[in-house]
Every structure is written in C-alpha cells, then in structure tokens.
Amino acid sequence: MPKMEASSSTSHDPALFHAPLLYHPRRRSSRPLKGFAVIIGSVVFLLSLVTLIVNQSPEPLASNPSSVTEAGSYSMAAQPRGTAEGVSAKSNPSLFDKVGFNWTNAMFYWQRTAYHFQPQKNWMNDPDGPLYHKGWYHLFYQYNPDSAIWGNITWGHAVSTDLIHWFYLPLAMVPDQWYDINGCWTGSATLLPDGRIVMLYTGSTNDSVQVQNLAYPANLSDPLLLQWLKYPGNPVVVPPTGIEDEEFRDPTTAWLGPDGSWRIAVGTRFNTTIGTALVFQTTNFSDYELLDGVLHAVPGTGMWECVDFYPVAINGSVGLDTTALGPGIKHVLKASLDDTKVDHYAIGTYDMITDKWTPDNPEEDVGIGLKVDYGRYYASKTFFDQSKQRRILYGWVNETDSEADDLEKGWASIQTIPRSVLYDNKTGTHLLQWPVEEVESLRLNATVFKDVVVEAGSVVPLDIGTATQLDILAEFEIETLVLNSTEDEVSDCGDGAVDRSTYGPFGVLVIADDSLSELTPIYFRPLNTSDGSLETYFCADETRSSKAPDVTKRVYGGKIPVLDDENYNMRVLVDHSVVESFGGGGRTVITSRVYPTEAIYGAARLFLFNNASGVNVKATLKIWEMNSAFIRPFPFEETLFQEMVAST
C-alpha cells in the first residue's frame, strides 16, 4: 500500500480495481505531420519561388482543426464567425448531427473557473499589451461588451499586483475612429527607456483594411493607466504593396537595433500559403519604414497571426528584455497559425544587421514543429516583467461547447495562468513553460502520496475529497524495462488513454466521477523505437470528459524528451472546466476544456491509472486544494485601495 502524508484530516489506503478505461477500440493509423522550412531573403525572392513551391506540392496542413475530430462527424456548416471580417475563426463548428445537451444553470455555474482570469460576462479572446507599471500588472484583452459571442471588439482591461488576483477596470479602447471602427484588434506594449509606454494595435477600418495604430497613456503617473489616447495621425502603418488588406495584423513588442532604431514585426502571408513576419523600423513610433526582405517565412503555413519575437538566455535562469542582444542569447519566433488555430514556435538565431532570423533546426521550423501548447490554446503573447526579471506568457483558451450554450451562460473564454518562459539548456531544443510562482499563494491543504505502485491495467483512487480546484505534482517511475518488445505500437497519443502498449499510458484521471463514467486522463505514453530506446508522448484525452454530445472532445499531445537521468514528471492545474498540464518541467504543455455533466461539485474525483500491458509504475504525488482568486471589479470606493494606488 502507498505511504501517505497529509495535512487533511482524512485518509485511506487506495485500492486497485479494473475499470472501463481498459476498453480498446480499433486503432487508427498514425498520421505524422510532415513539413519543410525555407528561409526567404526578400519579398521579391519569395514571390519568385511561388511557382516552384506549388509544383513541389508539400503536404498541406489541416485547413481547420474543427474539421478533424475523434468521430469524424463534425463539420463547418457555415463560415466561422470572424473569418468574414478578416480575423481567425472565433466560433465553434456546428455539430449539426448532435443533439444539444440539456444543461442546467448549476452545470453552467460550475464551469466558470475560480482562479483563471475571465471577464465578469461576455466574450473574450486574445491577450493584448501586457505590461508592468508602478506596481501593477496590466492585462488588456479582446472583448465584446455586448454579447458572449465574438464581435464589436474593444479592449478590456484588468490589473493585479501578483498576476493572480485581478481587478476589472473600465474599457481601455473602443472602436470609435475610422481606422478602428470595425474593431480594436490585437496589439503589444513597448516600454521605452525614458519611462514612456507606447501601444501598437491593429485596427479594422471602415473599409475593413487592417492597419496598425498607435496609442499611449493619457497620464503616466496613473498606476492604473485608466485613460488611453489614440495618436491623431493614425494609422501609422498600412498594408505594403502586395499584401492583402485583410491579412496584415498583430504588431509585436518593439525591440531596439544596434543602429538605435526600433523594430516591430507584423504577421501576414504571401500567395495565401506562405506565413510571413515583416519587419518595420522606426525612431519615433509614428513613422515607419518597411525593411527589405522578411524576418522569416515558412511555405505551407498560411496566415501568421499574433507573431511574438523575443530573446532567451542559453544558460540563464531569468528572462530577458526584448532588446537584449549579444552572445549567449537565442531568439524565439512564435506565430499563431490562422489555418490550424495552433501556436507554433522555434528557437534560432537573429542577425541584427540583416534583420533575419534562422531556425536552429529547419525541420522544426515555425508552423511545422514545436507547439507552444498542444491543446485548446491560441493567440499567445509574452512580455518582460522588469520587476522580477522574467518573461511571462499569456494564452487565450476558448470554449468547446456551442455558441448557443455560451449565450445561455453569458460568457465565453478564459486566459491561462500566466507562465514563466525559459530556454531548456538540458535539451537545447525546447522552451520551458511553468506557472508563475504567485499561483502557489492559492494553495490550501496538501496531501502527499509516496511510492504508490500502480499495476498494469489498474486504476487507483486518491482520497483527497472534492477535486475541482487542484495543483498536482506527480512523478512516475517505470518499475522494470521489457526488452525487445515486439508489440505493435501506435505512434503519438493513439486513440487516447484506452490505447494500450507495453509501457503505457499511465498518469492521472482528473475531473472524474466515482464510476469513471466521465474522466479526463493526463498521461505519458512511452513507446519502443527501432533502436531499442523509448520515445515518449505527453497527452490529454478529452473523449470521455463529458456525456454531452454537443461538446468537441479530442485527444491532444506531443512528443516530450525524457532524459536518461529523469523520471516522468507532470504538474496539473485543475480549475473546473480548464486543465493545464505541464510535462517534463514544462517542455510539453497541454490545455484542455472539459464540461462534465456528473463529475462536478462534490462528485469530482482524482485517480491514478496505468493502462500499460507489460509494466507496473510507481507514483509519488503532492496535491494541493486551490483557493479561489476572487477576481472582481476594482474597489475605487475603498480607502485602502485608494491609498495603495497613491503609494505606487
């Protein structure tokens, strides 16, 4: 029996039992994603290669992840909301052959998160212009003040002193000028050395042309930055010749070049298929020059949105300001792919003289290699937190239920827990993402399970009480290795946790009920390779997370390096309808949205499982119940907070 230490008052020895998890449907064939990368030196060179690229017929990326599902029965009944107005799809697929579930108000209420940021009501999408100013972290976000579906996009605004306990503030920017009347879309903040703050954002004009606009605080001495002014000379950047009017958006945070000029990158595409980041330079943020060539471009990846570009220290334990250059530094280029609704990144080298970026591994280039998050996640953005010398990452997580359900519950979408980002100097190939340390302030009572033996084909209940809000640290060790296994093993995450192989899958079942009629497995899947080594995948299986038929449910995951001196470790943040899973110290991350119908409130439980066919695993866990963040409107009327604002 496992050894258990707990600060809670109740405990019991877990008992092993077999469960429906072991059912094994027919396997699908593996679908490896192939790609290639081409560094294109200039716009002219790009266009001259179009014919050659088309003739080479690279394997296409999925046109939309919503069209590929676990049952193959979902399809887009009409053009997704947002696409017609020149941004990525914001609506979910129409599940035309699925009967809507009879959700109750109690179920909807349970789905709302307790410590993830989300507005009081209505629709939210991309994070905008995050920054730290006079003791306050600022988060702006795409927001519809009128409805729980996308439209009338304004900038919502919230502040926090710790990135966890947020206060809602009045709207920061509204679409009220000809250059943004169809939407104040995504943008980024740049903090200048003299203390000024400049905000660049995309506006959709009265003719639906995407332009880049400048805004700045009305009063820099205001720690809450309540009022923002739009530059009278907007727009400051318009689509260059050869760029589609509706495919030119989301300016990055600026970085300073060795010549004293600032640079920004803007996402676009060429010939509808070549994802591209253009570079503009400026000395005053009101006048811009398009530089020759491009920062980078990758054929076959389609429109690049929400481009992010920042340095990471090879041997450092702190983040870097965007302007950091020199030896010991690599640069991360990230793009949100409009065609697939996935955030991809790559690590490479930035030439500050030519303003070109080159990936370390062309076969893992932007859009064809590593993902920022392998789950339900998009439009991520980082900023440098100068107060703690760290780079912080936000990401938007939208719903997987229907728009009708969103309208009924009155809200849609959340932001992930902010994550710190560092270069993984052990592998040299990955970033490490980890929840900011401040989230640990929400930890309440802890329960520890030591050396729990989970036999092959078994499930172990973990007695922690209600399991709706948790922070889980888990480490797994394979007890014995099976040499020369000849079992036919499917690559990647297979059909989910039911797809058995010699070494796995094994992990935890979150948001599950006692009978395991609803559950969400988070797991490792080590697989034998031809050279006798193990190749490991980190996965999340939503296929049985809910009995509701009108919810999109998928298997997510990606390959994860597990070095010779490492065990299999994960951290899982559970917060009602969102599960954020960090494998291998944050090398591979998966965000899941789940909408159970029975595993809610006091019925939510936590289990260990091992669905391997040949080995036992040993697990050690520390599990905290998590408090709520009590996100609320800013208490302007409270004297204590007035004094706090004045002091900062």
Show the CA angle centred on residue 342, arms to residues 341 and 344, nearest 5°.
145
Q: Say which residues have a Cβ less than 8 Å from residue 415's Cβ, sequence separation at least 6.
A: 116, 117, 118, 124, 127, 139, 141, 394, 395, 396, 397
Q: Could you give phi then psi for residue 325, rounded to 5 degrees?
A: -135, 165
> What ranges in 93-169 are assigned the alpha helix state H?
105-111
* Both tokens assigned to 351: 């030439």
* Both tokens assigned to 142: 């795409």
- The b/e string for 327-345 (b: 16+ C-beta within 10 A; e otherwise) is eebebbbbbbbbbbbbbbb
Place of tokens 């696409």: 83
Place of tokens 């033996």: 453
Say if residues 165 and 138 touch (Cβ distance below 8 Å).
Answer: no
Q: Cα 222 to chain center, whole Å?
A: 31
Distance CA 144, CA 170 (A): 13
Give the pairing type, strands 122-133 and 411-412: parallel
DSSP conformation letters of 257-300: -TTS-EEEEEEEEETTTEEEEEEEEESSSSS-EEPSS-SEEETT
Say if residues 348 and 360 touch (Cβ distance below 8 Å).
Answer: yes
Say if residues 419 and 393 touch (Cβ distance below 8 Å).
Answer: yes
Distance CA 452, CA 465 (A): 18
Task: Classify the phi-psi angles of 68: left when phi > 0, otherwise alpha if psi is within -120 to 50, otherwise beta.
Answer: beta
Whole-angstrom CA distances from 338 to 267, 269, 441, 564 are 11, 10, 36, 37
Q: What is the maximum span of the chain, computed from C-alpha positions, in angstroms?
A: 71
Q: Hey, which residues does 90 pair with through a beta bridge?
A: none
DSSP assigned state of 66: G
Say if residues 546 and 595 touch (Cβ distance below 8 Å).
Answer: yes
Select from 241, 336, 353, 352 the least CA-distant residue to 290: 241
Distance CA 128, CA 131 (A): 9
Distance CA 119, CA 633 (A): 10
Place of tokens 């999408």: 125
Catalytic residue (choose from 97, 126, 146, 365): 126
Residue 307, CB-side half-sphere exposure with 13 Å CA sphere: 31
Number of DSSP helices (H) and strands (E) in the chain, helices first: 5, 38
Say if residues 401 and 92 touch (Cβ distance below 8 Å).
Answer: yes
Q: Is 488 noted as a catalytic residue in this protein?
A: no
Select from 195, 200, 113 the least CA-distant residue to 155: 200
Catalytic residues: 126
